[in-house]
Amino acid sequence: MGDDLTTIRTFPNDAEAALAQAVLDANGISSVLVGDNAGGMMPWLNTLHPVRLAVLASDVDLARELLDGPTAEGEGEPGSD
């Protein structure tokens, strides 16, 4: 197929990673979480091995855009009411 997985974010815990994955899932982007914390039994291992969120290379740009949030001009800037 030739479409490799690309890590687009790392997270300090499973909960934050799962939330980001849910955003992608809701927008039709398949993703996988890759972590090494003994199935959640040793969460302190995330310090050494953060949870990685990976998507297909063809979905990288859209996935990053979704996770970065809205980029409407002036949104969130002081005095932009």
The residues that bridge with 33 in the sheet, in sequence order, are 53
Flag whether 25 is in a domain. yes
Flag whether 80 is in a domain. no
What is the pLDDT averaged over residues 3-16? 91
Query: Could you list the residue range(s) of the whole structural domain that residue 58 is in?
Result: 5-68
**Sheet order of strands, 31-34 included:** 5-11, 51-56, 31-34
Flag whether 73 is in a domain. no
What is the pLDDT averaged over residues 62-71? 88
pTM over 0.85: no
Q: Are 53 and 20 in contact (CB under 8 A)?
A: yes
Give the pLDDT confidence of 13-59 residue by residue, as tens digits: 889 999 999 999 999 999 999 988 777 778 778 787 899 999 999 99
pLDDT for the residue 77:
53
Interatomic CA distance for residues 79 and 81, integer angstroms: 6
Report the CATH number at residue 59: 3.30.70.1530
Flag whether 18 is in a domain. yes
pLDDT for the residue 1:
42
pLDDT for the residue 3:
67
Interatomic CA distance for residues 44 and 37, integer angstroms: 7
Flag whether 74 is in a domain. no
The residues that bridge with 32 in the sheet, in sequence order, are 54
Flag whether 9 is in a domain. yes
Domain count, the chain: 1
